[in-house]
A and B are shown apart, each in its own frame.
Chain A
Amino acid sequence: MDTQREIPGIFAGMLAVIRRDLLLAWKRPGDMLNPLFFFAMVSTLFPLGTGPSAEQLEFSGPGVLWVAALLAMMVSLNTLFLQDHEDGSLDQLLVSPQPLPALALGKTIAHWITSGLPLVLVTPIVAVAYRMTVDVIGVLLLTLALGTVSLSLLGAVGAALTVGLHRATALLSLLILPLAMPILIVGAGAVSLAASGEGLSGGVFFLAAYAIGALSLAPFATAAALRISNE
């Protein structure tokens, strides 16, 4: 029995997690659609409240869409590790011979594919209602794509820290929102700048840098948080 056991590589483990979570999302589409409906509802109800004048929509559009996207991501983050914690499969991930940061990154990637990506894909439809031009919608998509990646990564850390606590939605938001503020400010700012025809590369570069920073740090923080909070 002392023969060398061939443990599947890091990427095999990460891919297994991604594949399983996508399969689960496919079998339970409700979990995936909830944040999406939330996003669509907030962003379509907003003009009804403020009045449909064209200038007002153009002025408030970037901010409203960004805030709605941020909150929709928050809604989806709660469940990231919750089910795994309850059914014991988080234990199985923790005792597997795979490096935990890789598995945590796998969970985060699956989360982005099932929450961030659909959000980015629905955005053009909603953005048209805010009288955005094609160019501005392009910038909006780019900034949202980068921003949601960062939010998934940061959110995973928060979700891992609060996994053992019940009904920790408020705590999770408190943990994540301060770190998410720069994303919101810069993201919405870049879209506004694009709408008024000014340079936007600064904002896009900032969001890209933020996403890369989060990508290199968050999986390790998530893994450490999971070890602490999964008692």
Chain B
Amino acid sequence: MTTGRKVLTAKLSASGLSLLRGERLLIRDLDFALNPREMLLLEGKNGSGKTSLLRAMAGLLEFESGELLWDGVSVRKQRQEFHGALTWLSHRTGLKGDLTLGENLRFESGLRAQHDIDFDGVLKRLGIERLTLLPLRSLSAGQQRRVALARLLLTDAPLWLMDEPFTNLDREGRALVMELVSEHISKDGMCVMAAHQDVQIDGTVVKVNLS
């Protein structure tokens, strides 16, 4: 075993990950280990493969080689369990513009385990409680992004995969995202985030530079 003991016992670990996009080897031999109460911050220039790496971690792309382990078992062998443990937030909101906020979030509750949390409290926290009756199409990009953030709070998945969560958000919104992540991490959660802004999180932040 060449991988260290730390990697083998970590909650989420990667060994020798390589990712091919088109003809280009975007990521070569990446190792990392992530435990509860830690956040992994992916840094790098545009086109360095942050989004592709996150998509591959979520199972939306195939790794060329290497293995991503969840609880020491390859995620490919336990796709359903792993997907049950993660929440995916990409730069596309994944919400339907023709449906209202409530209709969108109710749909997701049919797919995922729900936290018995008070729904109105979540909306209030995100500052979107007045928008429940409007189709999402009529909201601003920043407001739609806030609705997508509700997804994080309505499930109790321990692993948050976030691709550029600050897109379209105002200063207050960016602070809110950092606050939510800090809180999540402090409650034994984990987060993998791709961002090219300064991120201030209370907790252990492991940085991986992809360029």
Contact = CB atoms under 8 A, between A and B. Distances in A.
B58 to A, nearest CB: 5
A95 B58 contact: yes
Given A15-B110, A20-B107, A97-B112, A87 B83 contact: no
B99 A23 contact: yes
B112 A24 contact: no
B95 A95 contact: no
Interface size grouping (class) on chain A = 20 to 34
Contacts of B67: none
Contacts of B88: 91-92, 95
Contact of B95 (A16, A89, A97, A103): A89
Contacts of A6: 113
B187 interface: yes
Nearest to B61: A231
Contacts of A15: 110
A5 interface: yes
Contact of B111 (A16, A86, A87, A88): A16
B60 interface: yes
A8 interface: yes
A87 B98 contact: no
Contact of B103 (A7, A20, A28, A92): A20
B121 to A, nearest CB: 20
Contacts of B173: none
Nearest to A20: B107
Contact of B36 (A1, A23, A93, A231): A1
B84 A8 contact: no
Interface residues of B, number: 37
Given A1-B36, A20-B103, A92-B108, A87 B94 contact: yes
Given A20-B107, A97-B111, A27 B84 contact: no
B9 interface: no
B179 interface: no
Interface string A84-118: 00111101111111110001000000000000000
B110 to A, nearest CB: 3
A6 B92 CA distance: 27
Contacts of A27: 98-99, 135
B86 A1 contact: no
A79 interface: no
Interface in A10-64: 12-13, 15-17, 19-20, 23-24, 27-28
B6 interface: no
Given A20-B103, A94-B60, A1 B187 contact: yes
B92 A88 contact: yes
Contacts of B187: 1
A103 B81 CA distance: 17
Nearest to B111: A96
Nearest to B113: A5
A87 B92 contact: yes
A173 interface: no
Interface string B168-211: 00000000000000000001110000000000000000000000
A89 B96 contact: yes
A5 B156 contact: yes
A7 B61 contact: no
B188 A1 contact: yes
A175 to B, nearest CB: 23
Given A1-B156, A1-B188, A19-B107, A8 B92 contact: no
10 contacts: A1-B187, A6-B113, A7-B84, A7-B112, A17-B110, A23-B99, A24-B96, A86-B92, A87-B97, A231-B61
Interface of A: 1-2, 5-8, 12-13, 15-17, 19-20, 23-24, 27-28, 86-89, 91-99, 103, 230-231
Given A1-B187, A96-B112, 20 more contacts: A2-B158, A5-B113, A8-B110, A8-B113, A13-B110, A24-B96, A24-B99, A27-B99, A87-B93, A87-B94, A87-B95, A88-B95, A89-B96, A91-B58, A92-B94, A95-B58, A95-B83, A98-B80, A99-B80, A231-B61
